[in-house]
Amino acid sequence: MELPAVQITHLRKTYGPLVAVDDVSLSVAEGEIFGILGPNGAGKTTTVECAIGLRHADSGTVSLMGLDPRTDRDKVREIVGVQLQTGAQPNKLRVGEILEEYRSFYRQPADVGELMDVLGLAAKRGDYYKTLSGGQRQRLSVALALVGQPKIAVLDEMTTGLDPQARRDTWELIEGIRDRGVTIVLVTHFMEEAERLCDRVALIDNGRVVALDTPAALAERARGGKTVRFLPSAPFDDHLLTNLPEVTGLEHVGQHVVVTGQGELVNAVILALHAVGVTARDVQLDSSNLEDAFVKLTGTHLHTEGVAA
């Protein structure tokens, strides 16, 4: 059994009467992109801040690669790279100067030039921080999280405020980093980001984990399954499909057939039809998404500023 990269057990953190994190347990496998998703004030940021040792939890335990962020602070800081939700740099330092400073803090740092190339900051190397756009500042912040070549990168609202193109570039970057073996914990309230990037997602609401699964499985749970709609090339016996284990329901809508079910529904339906010489045309897969799952599980909508942007 491999040691998880991040293990949080029964974490609880209060600020006076306010319960920021009620009871959060989760485990992130090494090499995973793990999403922490929830509405504002759900306790996402407090959870990760406790996890990286920036705040002290009231109770519960945290282990990062087997290290306790409170007692093994020095070692933890070597292997964890952090991008905080709020974080600026001095206006009159240049991009390259900031990166070189942070680079010197680590034992096995990344190459600054390469990092700036990857993040599209190379042309900004000699520019003052104050002249950077919001997206450039965000990318510098990600660069600072990665300059120590961390084993775990914690990115809090990494793409908030970025335009759609910059957001997609950043997603590709994150996938590239994960492919180098870095475990990534991504705090986000941006659905598309979680669906696109995350291997698994924890939905947090009111300081508790309300669901934890792959984005696809969560979405499926939200609607009780998927729906396939198609136009059969020839009539067929409904039992051909309703007998399939993946299928839970079937109805005829005009000339179309609508099948609901779970799992590899489309493949199962098309193979079964093919076996009797029927082809499905005009196939439409209607699957619910993580947003639906979120609404169903928490009763709240996420802020979807990212979608509008």
Partner 1 sequence: MNALVLARSRLAPSRRAGPQRLPLPGTARGAAFGQVVRNEARLARRSPMPVIGSIGLPVVLMIIFGEIPSSGAVVAALGGLTLFSVYLPIIMVLGLTMLTLLGLPGPLVSYRELGILRRLSTTPVPPSWLLAAQVVIQFGVAVAGLLIVNVVSVIAFGAASPKSPAGLVLSLLATIAGMFALGLLIAALAPTSGSVNAISRLALIPLMFFAGLWLPRPLMPQILQDISNFTPLGAAVQAIQASMQTGFPPARPLLVLVAYAAVFGFAARRFFRWE
Q: Does 148 bind partner 1 (CB under 8 A)?
A: yes
85-93, 110-118, 225-233, 267-275 -> range binding partner 1 (CB under 8 A): 85-93
Q: Does 66 bind partner 1 (CB under 8 A)?
A: yes
Restricting to residues 161-200, which ones interact with partner 1 according to CB under 8 A?
178-182, 199-200
Q: Does 158 bind partner 1 (CB under 8 A)?
A: no
Query: Cβ contacts of residue 6 below 8 Å, gap of 6+?
Result: 26, 27, 28, 34, 51, 62, 63, 64, 152, 183, 185
Q: What is the DSSP letter of 61?
A: E
Residue among 144 and 250 whose Cβ is closer to partner 1: 144
Q: How far is the CB of 38 from partner 1 (least distance, A)?
A: 22
Q: Does 256 bind partner 1 (CB under 8 A)?
A: no
18-26, 30-38, 267-275, 286-294 -> range binding partner 1 (CB under 8 A): 30-38
Residue among 76 and 302 whose Cβ is closer to partner 1: 76
Please say whether the beta carbons of 1 and 7 come within 8 A: no
HSE toward the beta carbon, residue 55, CA cutoff 13 A: 20
Q: Write the single-letter amino acid at 43.
A: G
Q: Does 119 bind partner 1 (CB under 8 A)?
A: no
Q: Does 98 bind partner 1 (CB under 8 A)?
A: yes
Q: In what order do the strands lie in the sheet with 256-261?
A: 247-253, 256-261, 226-232, 280-286
Q: Where are the beta strands (DSSP E) in the chain?
A: 6-15, 18-28, 33-37, 59-64, 80-83, 152-156, 183-188, 200-205, 208-213, 226-232, 247-253, 256-261, 280-286
Question: Chain-centre distance of CA 102, in angstroms?
Answer: 26
Residue among 2 and 237 whose Cβ is closer to partner 1: 2
Residue among 28 and 250 whose Cβ is closer to partner 1: 28
Q: Does 16 bind partner 1 (CB under 8 A)?
A: no
Restricting to residues 220-249, which ones interact with partner 1 according to CB under 8 A?
none
Please say whether the beta carbons of 157 and 85 come within 8 A: yes
Binder among 29, 231, 240, 278 for partner 1 (CB under 8 A) = 29
Binder among 1, 18, 88, 253 for partner 1 (CB under 8 A) = 88
Binder among 6, 20, 50, 52 for partner 1 (CB under 8 A) = 52
- How many other CB atoms are found less than 10 A from the CB of residue 158? 28
Q: What is the DSSP letter of 110?
A: P
Q: Does 78 bind partner 1 (CB under 8 A)?
A: yes
Residue among 28 and 257 whose Cβ is closer to partner 1: 28
HSE toward the beta carbon, residue 23, CA cutoff 13 A: 2
> How big is the site for partner 1, counted in residues (CB under 8 A)?
47
Rounded distance between C-alpha atoms, residue 105 and residue 109, angstroms: 8
Number of helical H runs and strand E runs in the chain: 12, 13
Q: Does 156 bind partner 1 (CB under 8 A)?
A: no
Q: Does 80 bind partner 1 (CB under 8 A)?
A: yes
* Bridge partners, residue 228, by sequence: 259, 285
Q: How far is the CB of 116 from partner 1 (least distance, A)?
A: 17
Residue among 137 and 223 whose Cβ is closer to partner 1: 137
Binding residues vs partner 1 (CB under 8 A): 2, 29-32, 52, 54, 64-67, 74-75, 77-80, 82, 84, 86-90, 92-93, 97-98, 100-102, 104-108, 144, 148, 151, 178-182, 199-200, 214
